[in-house]
Amino acid sequence: MRLKEIQRTAHQAWSPAGHHPIYLALGTAAQQLDASFNTTAAIEIFEMDFSDPSLDMQLKGSLATTNRLHSIVWVNFGSGADGTGGRLVGGSENGTLTVYDPEAIMNSIGEAVVGQSDKHTGPVRALDFNPFQSNLLASGANDSEIYIWDLNNFSSPMTPGAKTQPAEDISVVSWNRQVQHILASANPSGKAVVWDLRKNEPIIKISDHSNRMHCSGMLWHPDVATQLVLASEDDRLPVIQMWDLRFATSPLKVLENHTRGILSISWSQADSELLLSSAKDNRILCWNPNTGEVIYELPTTNQWCFDVEWCPRNPALLSTASFDGRITVYSVMGGSLKAQQQSTISSSFDTMDPFGTGQVLPPLQVPQPQVQDTIVPPLKKPPKWVRRPVGASFAFGGKLITFENPKLPPVQSPQPVPRQVFVSQVTTETEFLQRSRELQTALQSGSFNSYCQAKIQSAKSDAEQDIWKFLLVNFEDEARIKFLKLLGFSKDELERKVSWLLLDSAEARTSGSVSPADFFSQTPKENSNFQIPVSCGKISPLKIYYTDGLISQALLVGNFEGAVDLCLNDGRYAEAILLSISGGEELLKKTQQKYLSKQKNSISMLISSVVTQNWKDIVQSCELDNWKEALAALLTYAHPEDFARLCDTLGSRLECEGTEKRCLQACLCYICSGNIEKLVECWALHRDCSSPLGLEDLVEKVMMLRKSIERLRNCEVAVQSPVLAEKLTCYAGILAAEGSLTTALRPQEGWNDPPTVRGGPRKKKVPDNYTPPAPITAPVMRFPVEAAQPHDNTQVPPGAPQEPSVQVGLLQQLPSEKVQQKEIPPEHMVLKSTFDSLVQRCQLAAGDPQTKRKLDDAAKRLGHLYDKLREQSLSHNILSGLHEISRCVASQNYQRGLEVHTQVVSSSNFSEISAFMPILKVVMTIANKLGV
Average pLDDT for the chain:
79
Residues 6+ apart with CB under 8 A from 463: 661, 664
DSSP state letter for 848: S
Sheet with 227-232, strands from edge to edge, namely 215-220, 227-232, 240-244, 253-255
DSSP state letter for 352: B
Q: How high is the pLDDT of residue 376? A: 64
Q: Which of 239-248, 249-258, 370-379 has the lowest mean pLDDT?
A: 370-379
* 201 strand-pairing partners: 196
Residues 6+ apart with CB under 8 A from 356: none
Q: How high is the pLDDT of residue 657? A: 84
pLDDT digits (tens, 9 = 90+) for 578-611: 888 878 888 888 887 777 777 666 566 667 666 7
Asked if pLDDT for residue 563 goes beyond 50, the answer is: yes
Q: How high is the pLDDT of residue 889? A: 92
Asked if pLDDT for residue 537 goes beyond 90, the answer is: no
Q: Which of 449-463, 555-569, 667-681 has the lowest mean pLDDT?
A: 555-569
Q: How high is the pLDDT of residue 508? A: 59
More confident of the two residues 203 and 544: 203
Asked if pLDDT for residue 642 goes beyond 70, the answer is: yes
Preceding omega of 16 cis (within 30 degrees of 0): no
Q: How high is the pLDDT of residue 760? A: 36
- Give the E-state strand segments of 113-238 in sequence order: 113-117, 126-129, 136-140, 146-150, 153-158, 172-175, 182-186, 192-196, 201-206, 215-220, 227-232
Q: Which of 99-113, 316-330, 802-816 has the lowest mean pLDDT?
A: 802-816
Question: Average pLDDT of 661-678?
Answer: 88
Q: How high is the pLDDT of residue 201? A: 92
Q: Which of 274, 273, 268 is nearest to 310 (CA)?
A: 268
pTM over 0.75: no
Question: Average pLDDT of 256-274?
Answer: 93
Q: How high is the pLDDT of residue 501? A: 64
Question: Average pLDDT of 850-875?
Answer: 88
Q: How high is the pLDDT of residue 888? A: 93
Asked if pLDDT for residue 50 goes beyond 70, the answer is: yes
Question: Average pLDDT of 765-780?
Answer: 39
Q: Which of 355-369, 716-730, 913-927 has the lowest mean pLDDT?
A: 355-369
Query: CA torsion 522→524→526→530, rounded to 10°?
Result: 180
pLDDT digits (tens, 9 = 90+) for 541-556: 444 456 777 777 777 7
Give residue 504's pLDDT band: very low, low, confident or very high (50, 70, 90): low
Q: How high is the pLDDT of residue 520? A: 39
Residues 6+ apart with CB under 8 A from 462: none
Side-chain-facing half-sphere of 140: CA atoms under 13 Å:
28
pLDDT digits (tens, 9 = 90+) for 145-175: 999 999 988 888 999 988 888 888 899 999 9
Question: Average pLDDT of 772-788?
Answer: 34
- Mind listing the domains of the chain with CATH numbers? 2-336 (2.130.10.10), 826-930 (1.20.940.10)
Q: How high is the pLDDT of residue 792? A: 41
pLDDT digits (tens, 9 = 90+) for 522-532: 444 444 444 44
Most confident of 404-418, 472-486, 860-874: 860-874
The answer to whether the CB of 588 falls within 8 A of the CB of 561 is no
DSSP 736-780: HHTT-HHHHHPPPTTTTSPPEETTEE------TT------TT-TT
Give residue 412's pLDDT band: very low, low, confident or very high (50, 70, 90): very low
Q: Which of 695, 693, 719 is nearest to 705 (CA)?
A: 719
